[in-house]
């Protein structure tokens, strides 16, 4: 699945992009809309089994995802669950929680209609 699969496409012809549009010889530019995320509810968080780790020097979300899930591309699941957009939002010594089943977070975000398992 593409990381852009659930995002809308926007056709942009705003005046502030006039020079860029002219340079490219086009009247509009198509781009992806910014993603809209719904935070997990307290009920969802309570239903997701996790185990804690202490953030150390060299810890990265993609490394944790690779170790825990076998796929570094799922780094955002751990980051999203912990409400930390990037590695740089975590401080040394902080406890980070790893969802045991990444699909429960994925489904709550991608299908926010209560179908998480």
Q: Model confidence over 10-36: pLDDT tens digits?
A: 888 888 888 888 898 988 888 887 766
SS3 10: strand
Give the start-to-end residue ranges of the domains of the chain: 1-36, 42-110
Q: How many CB atoms lie within 10 A of CB 33?
A: 10
* Averaged confidence pLDDT in the chain: 85
- Cβ neighbors of 32 (< 8 A, separation 6 or more) are 4, 7, 8, 9, 10
Q: Model confidence over 66-78: pLDDT tens digits?
A: 999 999 999 999 9
| Model confidence, pTM | 0.67
Question: Distance between CA atoms of 28 and 65, rounded to whole angstroms?
Answer: 38
Considering the chain, what percentage of its residues have pLDDT values greater than 70? Answer: 85
Q: Which two tokens stand for residue 8?
A: 């809308």
Identify the pLDDT of residue 9. 84
Q: Name the more confident of 31 and 65.
A: 65
């Amino acid at each position: 699945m593409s990381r852009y699969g659930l995002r809308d496409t926007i056709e942009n012809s705003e005046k502030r992009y006039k020079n860029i549009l002219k340079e490219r010889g086009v009247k509009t530019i198509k781009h992806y809309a910014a993603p809209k995320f719904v935070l997990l509810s307290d009920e969802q968080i309570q239903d997701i089994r996790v185990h804690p780790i202490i953030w150390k020097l060299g810890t990265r979300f993609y490394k944790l995802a690779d170790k825990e899930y076998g796929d570094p591309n799922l780094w955002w699941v751990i980051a999203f669950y912990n409400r930390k957009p990037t590695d740089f939002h975590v401080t040394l010594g902080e406890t980070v929680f790893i969802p045991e089943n990444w699909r429960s977070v994925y489904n709550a975000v991608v299908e926010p209609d209560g179908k998480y398992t």
